[in-house]
Structure 1
Amino acid sequence: MIVDAHHHLWDPAARDHSWLDAPELAPLRRAFTADDLHPPARAAGIDATVLVQTVTEPGETTELLAIAATDPLVAGVVGWTDLTDPGITDTLAALASSPGGDRLVGIRHQIQLEPDPAWILRPEALRGLAAVAETGLVYDLVITPDQLPAATEAAARLPQLTFVLDHLGKPPIAHGRAEPWAGGLRALAARPNTACKLSGLVTEADWAHWTLADLRPYVEIALDAFGPRRTVFGSDWPVCLLAADYADVVSSARELTSGLDDEERAAVFGTTATRVYGLRPPD
């Protein structure tokens, strides 16, 4: 399978998406449905996708799983639940038994919005992460560079849990800097229970003027740190539309990985995501 391991669907009219209130995000302030995604994804040769949460509301995860139950493209869902809830084990079990629950492959929380850079190391958060591991799910990390050290410590404390770093940890591409992001990324990659996503990079660059040359150093650092067998491709659609259309995101990722051999490229574009998330082809 060729896998897009990171995209979203939403409808601001049906659920509050206050994060879209920023003026620069106005182009995203509309519904994006599976019907919108299918044509560009199929045209790009995508066989399966991982649908990822956008808001910290439990109802959204149930809705995403219901989509996955009937959508011919969605092979997995990374949802949200409150890590700090003492009843998280029961909540995860309820999600797994809901319509589409067999497509639940991971959990994530918008750690990037937490003011405490060590939020993930709070005892209640670590307890929740342990429950995620016990349920056989993956944990997606949506964090900023200053939160990489705490994420690395969490990965060290929970070797039984696989952590997947979304958007390479949001490197400062628009500013042309590598450190301290690169050092933090390499430290996380040194933990064998981690992987990373080549996703969300065009929106970390200058939206109007980015080039492949802007992205290449960060992709090379990530591939060197994690290796292709712990790296997955994700479009971050429709957020990517702020800077590039779906076809451009896919073609850019293919060009940026053109130096890999066939097996390594197959890993980035499919086999790593299939293994890490335990994906099976959509019905």
Structure 2
Amino acid sequence: MCPVGRFSVHRIDAHAHLLDLDRITYGWIERPTPLLTHLLPDYYSIARSYPPAAYHDDVAGAGITRMVACEFGAVDAIAEARWIQECHDNTGTPEGFIAAVDLAAADLPDRLATYGELSVVRAVRQPLYWSEDPLTRLGARPDHLTDPDWLQGFERVADSGLVWDLLVYAEQLPLALPLIARFPHVPIVLEAAGWPLDRSPEGFQKWREQLHAVSEHPNVTLKLQGLALVFGATPSAVTPWISAAVEIFGADRCMFATHLPVDGLLWTAGDLVEATELALAGADEHARADYFGGTAERVYLGGERLR
């Protein structure tokens, strides 16, 4: 069992996935893609139902008291959001949900209106990941951040009061800066620590510089989900990245997240907590409380949606 830690910290998991294969069709399961097995050879072993009860089994003993779920490539995103709302109403889990959108789609206004009726929906996201390597192109197009129709869709998100989860690689962060600067009132969560594809010493330094530029914008917070997937499933692999993220953004702008069930293929929630505790060994009680839950509470779960 993983110890709760030196202080009484109530951990909030800012990013995990729930699945129901009986009710929801998932595009990545219906149409298997080599992009996911390139990420993780046994990725498709998680292509199974993963309800709140299974999640709670996986985090038992890790001191996690609340969770924010994230969309997981459902063909019908509204059906997925409604199922998540049912999970919340029936079990109390999750406390919040990051729903799927396509900002250039004609049905965006209707989708946002539907999400507005679901109290569990606190944020929206759309994968924008793009690189020269086709096996890392998890987004549909390379030009979303400069497309007028897509940017018009972002204005609708800004008006909705929802948080925006930003999914880009580190090398795309310079392209995202104009968007971040244009909407300073929109809470933006940069996922996966900005996901650096180059993890060499030179890549690490470049990632630090890119994060510094983003951190200048106070509406941006950093979510560190997928640590095992992106950096490796050992404390020594993740510590430099966690430490640098906290140094650059501050613990009060960083979020702990398990990325279950995906990262559960690589390590346990307890392993993640222990590795994170080691990385935060020099932090005080308040910084640890922010990282492990305070930031997620404020950004995702802090009462009414921003208007």
With normalisation by structure 1, the TM-score equals 0.88
Q: Which residue matches 1:253?
A: 276
* Structure 2 Cα separation of the partners of residues 272 and 145 of structure 1: 22
* Matches of 2:119 and 2:141, distance apart in 1: 33
1:81-112 C-alpha deviation (Å, 9 max, x unpaired): 22113553332122222xxx111110001111
Equivalent AA in structure 2 for residue 46 of structure 1? I
User: In the alignment, what sits opposite 1:31?
Assistant: 49
Superposed displacement of residue 261, structure 1: 0.6
Contact 1:38–1:73 (CA<8 Å) still a contact in 2? no
Q: Distance in 2 between matches of 1:193 and 1:163?
A: 6
1:189 is matched with 215
In the TM superposition, 1:72-87 aligns within 5 A as 72-87=92-107
Aligned sequence identity (%):
27
Q: Which moved more, 1:265-274 or 1:33-42?
A: 33-42
2:98 counterpart of 1:63: no
Q: CA deviation at 1:56?
A: 5.6
Q: Write the letter of the residue equivalent to 1:81.
A: V
Tell me which of 104, 109, 122 is aligned to 2:121. 104
- Aligned to 2:119, the other structure's residue is in SS state helix
Asked if structure 2 preserves the Cα contact closer than 8 Å seen for 1:84 and 1:124, the reply is yes
The equivalent position to 2:70 in structure 1, one of 44, 48, 52, is 52
| Alpha-carbon separation, structure 2, partners of 1:188 and 1:197 | 13
SS of the residue corresponding to residue 4 of structure 1 reads strand
Structure 1: runs of 5+ lacking an equivalent: none
Partner Cα separation in structure 2 for residue 239 and residue 6 of structure 1 = 11
Tell me the secondary structure at the aligned position of residue 236 of structure 1: coil
- Among 36, 43, 56, the alignment partner of 2:61 is 43
Checking the alignment, whether the CA contact within 8 Å between 1:6 and 1:49 is kept in structure 2 is: yes
Instruction: Label 1:30 to 1:90 Cα distance change in 2 as closer, same or farther (>3 A).
Output: closer
| CA shift in 2, pair 1:211/1:94, >3 Å | closer
Task: Structure 2: state its 5+ residue gaps.
Answer: 1-9, 130-137
**Mapped pair 1:15 → 2:40:** no
CA distance in 2, matches of 1:173, 1:61: 34
Deviates more, 1:12-21 or 1:213-222: 12-21
Q: Distance in 1 between matches of 2:283 and 2:193?
A: 19
| Equivalent pairs, count | 274
Instruction: Supply the distance in 2 between the matched residues of 1:279 and 1:140 (Cα, whole angstroms).
Output: 16
Q: CA deviation at 1:170?
A: 1.4
SS state at 1:106 partner: strand
Aligned pair partner of 1:200 in 226, 231, 246 = 226
User: Residues of 2 paired with 1:56 and 1:152: CA distance?
Assistant: 29
Q: 2:12–2:256: 8 Å Cα contact kept in structure 1?
A: yes
CA distance in 1, matches of 2:198, 2:241: 8
Counterpart Cα distance in 2 of 1:29 and 1:135: 32
CA distance in 2 between partners of 1:266 and 1:62 (Å): 31
User: What is the distance in 1 between the residues matched to 2:205 and 2:106?
Assistant: 37
Which shows bigger deviation, 158-167 or 245-254? 245-254
* Aligned residue among 112, 116, 131 for 1:92: 112
Relative to structure 1, is the Cα distance of residues 8 and 230 closer, same or farther in structure 2, using a 3 angstrom cutoff? Answer: same
**Corresponding residue number in structure 2 for 1:228:** 251
Taking only aligned residues, the RMSD between alpha carbons, in angstroms, comes to 2.2
3-state SS in 2 of match to 1:225: helix
Q: CA deviation at 1:128?
A: 1.8
- Per-residue deviation at 1:198? 1.8
Q: Is the 8 A contact 2:239 2:276 kept in 1?
A: no
The amino acid that maps onto 1:223 is: V
One-letter code of the match for 1:189?
S
CA contact (8 A) 2:96 2:122 kept: yes
Matched, 1:154 2:174: no
Question: SS at the partner of 2:228?
Answer: coil
What per-residue deviation string (whole Å, max 9, x for no partner) do you get for residues 115-167 of structure 1? 64442232222222222221111001122122211222211111111110111
Question: Is residue 139–residue 161 contact of structure 1 (8 Å, CA) maintained in 2?
Answer: yes
